[in-house]
Each structure stands twice: as structure tokens, then as C-alpha cells.
């Protein structure tokens, strides 16, 4: 009996303070989310989380509310397996549309970007400045935007119904509660 008690005490002591590692959770307080989830925090709406492209660690957050565009928004193409690109012909993004999209967008993880959002051949490119730093922005018809500068990058998505009129496709839900058994 003493042996069972001793084993139980040792087991409880070795597990004291152990973290639940059953889910891959990012430690940074900016992105306390599972890697496969969208970051849907109201306080992050209109912001992008910028990651170091070499290490993958969070470098900064950037507010997109008061940015100054330094170039016009130019239509471009994005590498895609999409064969019929005629859907891109009538898709337009102007300054006012982009401001509305940015206001309603939230940061997304690379996993969500990869699996939940379409990567369409339709895109627009522009540049902007914030805090004396220049950034490049790519707006994709699949409801997502990539923002980058010297070795940092971040992605935002706009799954809100307010954004659907501005894009060609909406993201799929990765929420298990939406699936049927």
C-alpha cells in the first residue's frame, strides 16, 4: 500500500505545473490561438501581426487605420492553379474599398491562410508607409491580404459579411462545430 501511495505522490509532483501540450498554442500574448484557428479578437480588427520570415516569431503589430498609401493600387496576378481567370476581369479594388476591407480585417495564421482561403489569380498591389517604414501590400480576390517589409510578413483576412461584396470568394470555416457527423 505504501508503494502505491509513493507512486501517486511522485506522479502528482512530476505533473505539477505541467502545461497542456495537446494543442499547438503560440506563446505570444498577441496571438494566443491554436495555429489552425483564425485570430478573431475585436481588439485586433484593423491590425496585422508581423512575423519574422526567418524565425516565424512575432516581431510587431501594425495598425492599418491610419496608413498613407504611396502608390496607386495596381491590378496584378497571383500564382494560382486557377485555370479560368476571366472571373478577375470585373473585380476592382479602389482606395475607398481597400479602407473598408482593412477596417474589417483581422490577422490570420499561415495555416488558416493556406487551408481556409482561396488563392485566386486575381490580385492588386500597392505600397504604404507607417512610422517611417515602407510596406508592400497584396490584396487577393480570395478575401485575404499579405503585408510585407524587410524580412517581416503578416496576413489578414476578411471573413466578415461586410467584406464579401468586395471579394470573389469567401473563406471556408475551419470550425469543427460546422461539420456534420
The pLDDT tens digits for 117-140 are 988 888 999 999 888 889 999 999
How distant is the alpha carbon of residue 34 from its chain centre?
12
How distant is the alpha carbon of residue 103 from its chain centre?
14
SS3 state at 34: strand
Q: E strands of the chain, at which residues?
A: 47-52, 58-63, 68-69, 74-77, 106-107, 122-130, 133-140, 144-149, 152-157
Residue whose C-alpha is closest to residue 125's, from 141, 113, 136:
136
Q: Which three cell numbers stand for residue 108?
A: 490570420
Q: Which three cell numbers stand for residue 54?
A: 526567418
SS3 state at 181: coil
Mean pLDDT of all residues in 86-98: 88
Confidence grade of residue 6 (pLDDT, cut at 50, 70, 90) = very low
Contact 98, 46 (CB under 8 A): no
Parse the chain into domains and list their residue ranges.
Answer: 41-78+87-173
pLDDT of residue 147: 93
pLDDT of residue 152: 93
The pLDDT tens digits for 47-73 are 889 998 888 899 988 888 878 788 777
- Please count the CA atoms within 13 angstroms of the CA of 12 that sit on its side-chain side: 5
Amino acid at each position: 500500500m505504501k508503494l502505491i501511495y509513493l507512486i501517486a505522490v511522485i506522479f502528482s509532483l512530476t505533473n505539477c505545473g505541467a502545461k497542456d501540450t495537446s494543442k499547438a498554442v503560440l506563446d505570444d500574448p498577441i496571438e494566443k490561438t491554436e495555429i489552425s484557428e483564425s485570430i478573431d479578437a475585436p481588439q485586433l480588427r484593423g491590425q496585422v501581426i508581423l512575423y519574422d520570415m526567418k524565425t516565424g516569431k512575432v516581431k510587431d503589430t501594425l495598425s492599418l487605420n491610419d496608413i498613407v498609401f504611396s502608390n496607386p493600387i495596381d491590378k496584378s496576378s497571383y500564382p494560382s492553379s486557377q485555370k479560368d481567370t476571366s472571373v478577375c476581369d470585373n473585380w476592382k479594388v479602389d482606395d475607398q474599398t481597400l479602407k473598408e476591407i482593412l477596417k474589417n480585417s483581422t490577422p490570420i495564421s499561415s495555416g488558416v491562410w493556406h487551408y481556409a482561403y482561396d488563392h485566386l489569380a486575381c490580385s492588386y498591389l500597392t505600397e504604404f508607409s507607417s512610422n517611417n517604414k515602407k510596406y508592400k501590400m497584396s490584396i487577393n480576390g480570395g478575401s485575404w491580404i499579405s503585408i510585407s517589409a524587410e524580412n517581416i510578413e503578416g496576413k489578414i483576412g476578411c471573413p466578415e459579411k461586410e467584406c464579401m461584396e468586395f471579394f470573389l470568394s469567401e473563406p471556408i470555416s475551419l470550425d469543427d462545430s460546422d461539420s456534420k457527423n
